[in-house]
Amino acid sequence: MRATVKDVARRAGVSPKTVSNVMNGVVPVSAPTRLRVEQAMAELDYVPNLSARGLRNGRSGVIALALPDLATPYSAEVAHHIVEVAHEQGWIVQIEETGSDPVREQELMTRARSNLIDGLILNPVVLDESAVKVGVALPPVVLLGEVTQQLADRVFVNSLTAARDMTLALAKPGRRRIAVLGTTQGRGSAAAIQRTQGYEAALDILGIPRDESLLIPCEKWTPETAAKALDAYLDQHPVPEALFCFTDSMAIGALSVLWKRGLRIPEDIAVAGFDDIADGRYAVPSLTTVSFDKRTIASEALRLLTERMGDRAHGQRVVSVDYSIVERGSSKA
Amino acid sequence: MRATVKDVARRAGVSPKTVSNVMNGVVPVSAPTRLRVEQAMAELDYVPNLSARGLRNGRSGVIALALPDLATPYSAEVAHHIVEVAHEQGWIVQIEETGSDPVREQELMTRARSNLIDGLILNPVVLDESAVKVGVALPPVVLLGEVTQQLADRVFVNSLTAARDMTLALAKPGRRRIAVLGTTQGRGSAAAIQRTQGYEAALDILGIPRDESLLIPCEKWTPETAAKALDAYLDQHPVPEALFCFTDSMAIGALSVLWKRGLRIPEDIAVAGFDDIADGRYAVPSLTTVSFDKRTIASEALRLLTERMGDRAHGQRVVSVDYSIVERGSSKA
DNA sequence: TTGAAAGCGTTACCAT
DNA sequence: ATGGTAACGCTTTCAA
């Protein structure tokens, strides 16, 4: 049977409260008493029962991290940093996968407060503001990425200006037929909309007329779907001078298609991505991308979350994380 | 204030026990009563307090998943499948990162039983049997991968025969100078040892004399370290006919180095990996690899874990998962 | 089929 | 500085 505070107290010849005081270290405890208690804990191999502690305190020390799909490199990197930062701060992290399902995303926001978690970091894809009922008591939530809603705190990279800057960079050596891969039909993800707008903003700046036939739709942002979409596109259209993929993952799928078709990169077509995932650096050729510090995203998300836990009533906080255009072999003239 | 069973009971005009019965659905409840209770729960937006439930039941419904580094594609894919399968079975998953630290690995095995978790799935790297004290009450644990120990249940892919078979496949078109990337000096990971032995077993079968200079050491199995190790190696040695990397991640790093050096793959040098991660399929050229079903690993690990929770005394169970050699562009003659 | 009461392990309040 | 007592929300005897 597992040892409890009572067992420890009995062995140390003190009361349970004193054991608790030793553990939590807020109330002062005399040195000899503390020593006796610590020894008793070690002897009994005492491990506190977190369920009991959570019940009593109303806080569990657990936060939930909800991502579309843990297997995608971008999500995996974000998850890694959040778990690492959270652990440094003493949090336990629980993983949820949404599968990009809006229903699941909302469910997590509204029903997550099962008191096993103190807060939620959610990377939504298609979270719709209208669906989140105002007035329902939300748990402390921080949203990751581009979302058009005003209800929760948020950490994001400005997709619009980043896409604009990347398009400008691709155009610099005089390229004018710049295609984008990853646009969505109808109501797509906020990120898709923002990145498309940024691309169009750049065209306007450059005085390049918009050309619908350079928008390559791709609903799911995976290498598979990107490869398929690009392959089908190239069957019907001439090769553009540059291809801006809305994620690095898509760019990796695109590179494999271009290579199979015997196109030289960047001579025949320049390629760029977005996210700066580790594999992009080792792509062939290495991938030009929009880079940003994922650890900053993690630490800012955790900062906002803990602040929110402390003050549920405070107004919405939004943090924008810096990005930079990193030009590598896939676009270098 | 959050609604509790008492509130629901009062509103439905029943006792807390009846509310509990409705939720857990074991004890039969009359249809009208059940309806009233369910309505009351909906009206009060009732969410059960899992800390209280966990305290009372002695089980939390949470399992921990401990991996070296969530950001590596292999770990990410495994985590994805485990989370998915676990959720299907009603488990909540908590993430731990070990950073390949043996101390952390052991700590998790022995001290993880804080009653917030019912079991642990651990992917160790250098777990040493001798360090895990026999007799200490372990929580239910399932180990993932190659480990030389007899204490816990385990799911693994036979690295030795897989590495042997891959080496044989690489040698088939008459290649004889086959190098491996990822060997470790001194006491390395069990996987490194097994894969090296498999490689050597193949050489013996083929009648190719072992050549120390074809073992390229690489302690950390990342694209970065692999690229660096291979680059340094090629500065000093002639180009081998084939390169068997001990993971796909390392192979991706290797491909980028070979490409930078202007070597043609597979004409000048064939390349293979291990793990069949998604990005390998979209590498240039697509990567030959040892493939296995990660969902099977996940479901078997969960099966063993739940069985172990039910019967702590049972002897060690070990499950070997099938693999296959998948030949893609990086080695096709 | 349903109700009353006890208790899981912890910490906070109020004494001493 | 330390001890006694009550309470967190749930489920499980035991009774009715």
Residue B192 near residue B183, CB atoms below 8 Å? yes
CB atoms inside a 10 Å sphere around CB A262: 7
Is B260 strand, coil or helix? helix
Class of domain B159-292: alpha beta
Answer with the residue of higher pLDDT: B190 or B112.
B190
What distance in Å separates residue A51's CA from the closest CA in chain B?
A: 5
Residue with tokens 């009971």: B9
What's residue A21's pLDDT?
A: 83
- To 10 degrees, the CA torsion angle through A15, A18, A23, A26? 160
Residue B174 to chain A, least CA–CA distance (Å): 26
Specify the long-range contacts of residues A223-228, CB closer than 8 Å, at least 24 apart.
A223/A249, A223/A250, A223/A252, A223/A253, A223/A256, A223/B278, A223/B279, A223/B281, A223/B282, A224/A253, A225/A250, A225/A253, A226/A181, A226/A182, A226/A250, A226/A251, A226/A252, A226/A253, A226/A254, A227/A253, A227/A254, A227/A256, A227/A257, A227/B282
State residue B95's pLDDT score.
95
The tens digit of pLDDT for each residue in A127-160 reads 665 455 545 567 899 999 987 777 789 999 999 9
The DSSP annotation for B25-70 comes to --S---HHHHHHHHHHHHHHT----HHHHHHHHS--SEEEEEES-T
Question: Which top CATH class is A60-157+293-321?
Answer: alpha beta
pLDDT in tens, B163-184: 999 999 999 999 999 999 999 9
- Domain B60-157+293-321 shares a fold with domain B159-292: yes
Q: How many beta carbons lie within 10 A of that of residue A70, not counting itself?
A: 26
Q: What percent of chain B shows pLDDT beyond 70?
A: 94
Sheet containing strand A242-245, edge to edge, reads: A215-217, A178-183, A242-245, A270-272
- Dihedral sign, Cα of residue A162, residue A164, residue A167, residue A169: negative
Distance A15 CA to D5 C1' (A): 12
First-to-last alpha carbon distance for chain A, in angstroms, is 69
Q: Which of B97, B122, B101, B117 is nearest to A83 (CA)?
A: B97
Of the residues A44, A284, A332, the best mutation for testing chain B's interface (the one with the most B CB atoms within 10 Å of its CB) is: A284
Q: Which residues of A touch B44 (CB under 8 A)?
A: none
Listed by start position, the domains of chain A span 1-38, 60-157+293-321, 159-292
Topology annotation, domain A1-38: 434 Repressor (Amino-terminal Domain) (1.10.260)
- For the CA of B77 and the C1' of D8, the distance in angstroms is 39
Q: Is 0.75 topped by the overall pTM?
A: yes
Residues with Cβ < 8 Å from B303, sequence gap 6 or more? none
Find the CB nearest B55 among A51, A87, A97. Answer: A51
Q: What is the pLDDT of residue B29?
A: 76
